[in-house]
Amino acid sequence: RKLCLKYNPHDSALHNNTKILKGNKMKLVISLLLCGIIGSLAQRTPTRRPTPYPTRYPTARPTDAYRDAYVPFLISGCPSEDVTEAQADQTDFLALVNDVTKTNLEAQSTIPTISNSYGQDVIAQVITSSPIFDATNGDIDLDVQIKLYWDYSSQIKSAVGGTDGGNFQSLMRTSIANWFQAAYNTTDGEAAGIMFSVDMTQYRETSGSNTFTIFMAVISIIIAMIV
């Protein structure tokens, strides 16, 4: 018997369509990779202007000009009953720490309230979280996040750590002791025993923008679905 093969013109058309589809997929993958490269270039940290009096831009700088600094605060020597009451009033107490941290940093001579370069706040926000109240030992541990303008990163780190000759930590101790006195009638003698310190070994900074990371993750998922 002889096996007869018939030419089917539709088979050729299907083959051509498959080649076109693969070619389109390749073009899409290349386009996505180019978008990723362009996005990475757009996310670089802005370069310092070489002139001492940089020109102001008419529009505000993007939010990724800010960085997040994380540092633990330790308040010690508090009366036990005051620690217990501060824990009960946790929302108000954390709000106080946020306010006085920003205010006392801006009180340092090395840190202006507004960025000289672009007119933005040097310290955009302070967020205090994860408090640990130890009434037995009179301690309060806090995790503090400071959203700072990138151009003043070193000044803020020096001010928080007390290596710039400033009085940030002293001001923080006074602010917190005054709050205890006003809120809980802490005596002068008890307030004098309240101490404030910073664990600079845990100080770290990260970029304030995760846009590029999310962007690249989405691209990776799309490529995986196509291929």
Lowest mean pLDDT among 26-30, 76-80, 93-97: 26-30
Question: What span, in angstroms and rounded, lies between the C-alpha atoms of 16 and 179?
Answer: 78
Measured CA to CA in angstroms, residue 171 lies from 18, 72, 119, 141, 177 at distances of 72, 17, 26, 18, 10
According to the model, what pLDDT value does residue 49 have? Answer: 46
pLDDT at res. 224:
54
Q: What is the mean pLDDT of residues 174-185?
A: 95
Query: Does position 8 have pLDDT exceeding 60, yes or no?
Result: no
Q: Give pLDDT, residue 207.
A: 72
Can you read off the two tokens belonging to residue 22?
A: 């693969």
The mean pLDDT value for 3-12 works out to 51
Phi, psi (rounded to 5 degrees) for 194? -75, 130
Using 50, 70 and 90 to split pLDDT, how confident is the model at 118? Answer: confident
**pLDDT for residue 18:** 56
pLDDT of 14 higher than 70: no
Instruction: Name the nearest CA neighbour of 179 among 107, 108, 98, 71.
Output: 98
Position 122: which residue type?
V
pLDDT score, position 40: 54
pLDDT for the residue 77: 97
Token pair 């706040």: residue: 121
At 134 the pLDDT is: 98
Q: Is the pLDDT of residue 38 over 60?
A: no
- The reported pTM is 0.66
Q: Does pLDDT of 65 surpass 90?
A: no
pLDDT digits (tens, 9 = 90+) for 141-178: 999 999 999 999 999 999 999 999 999 999 999 999 99
Low-confidence winner among 42-51, 88-97, 134-143 (lowest mean pLDDT): 42-51
Taking residues 89-110, what's their average pLDDT?
Answer: 97
